[in-house]
Chain A
Amino acid sequence: KAGVTQTPRYLIKTRGQQVTLSCSPISGHRSVSWYQQTPGQGLQFLFEYFSETQRNKGNFPGRFSGRQFSNSRSEMNVSTLELGDSALYLCASSLGIAGAHYNEQFFGPGTRLTVL
């Protein structure tokens, strides 16, 4: 079974631009969660989508948004990029709602975003 895939793997943008990252979950998984990883901050939860609906959200500004399609693929968008948005963005998929009945999350390799 193919794992979680994320595209692109690397991205360089400049301040003020916007970016869209893509995540394809494991086949049959209906939940996709997004995380931001920065040095010293660990993994910060961005949001979770389940069956095309955002069911959980972290403490990030509205510049960070996402969506999920009917095939469970998910996209994350960051508008008006800032230098501090440089990070590794990870997505994780799970069969059901992440954390419920301890559904295990499977992570993709991440997208490394650099904002200049």
Chain B
Amino acid sequence: DQQVKQNSPSLSVQEGRISILNCDYTNSMFDYFLWYKKYPAEGPTFLISISSIKDKNEDGRFTVFLNKSAKHLSLHIVPSQPGDSAVYFCAAITSGTYKYIFGTGTRLKVLA
């Protein structure tokens, strides 16, 4: 039972354009969401997060949007850079269990 889904395994975007990575979830008890970036041969690193009481959080080129009614989360990267090429994982937490549930990941390739 995949509670957090990333339906696009891969995405290619031209340098300078917007990258949009999507994540859907099924558990309405999730109250905190995070995005991680993973380069080959390295562990995931935290990118940006959002609480369920907000619908948008911005940090430089990265913005996360949360649509609770649709149980949908998206990460926007503007402008995309070749160094952004990596696998992106979304994750969700329920404050009761504090257990991280990760999605399957989306491989982003930014073309120069």
Residues of chain A whose beta carbon lies under 8 Å from any beta carbon of chain B: 4, 33, 35, 40-45, 48, 56, 58, 90, 92, 97-100, 102, 104-110
Contacts and interface: CB of A to CB of B under 8 A. Distances in A.
Nearest to A35: B102
10 shortest interchain CB distances as A-B pairs: A107-B43, A99-B98, A42-B104, A43-B102, A99-B93, A42-B102, A100-B98, A107-B44, A108-B43, A109-B43
Contacts, number: 61
17 contacts: A41-B104, A42-B6, A43-B44, A43-B91, A43-B105, A45-B102, A56-B98, A58-B99, A99-B32, A99-B98, A100-B95, A100-B98, A102-B93, A105-B100, A107-B44, A107-B45, A109-B42
Nearest to B39: A109
A33 B78 CA distance: 32
B46 A97 contact: no
Interface string B86-97: 000101010101
A105 B101 contact: no
Interface string B40-52: 0111111001000
A98 B100 contact: yes
Interface in B38-91: 41-46, 49, 89, 91
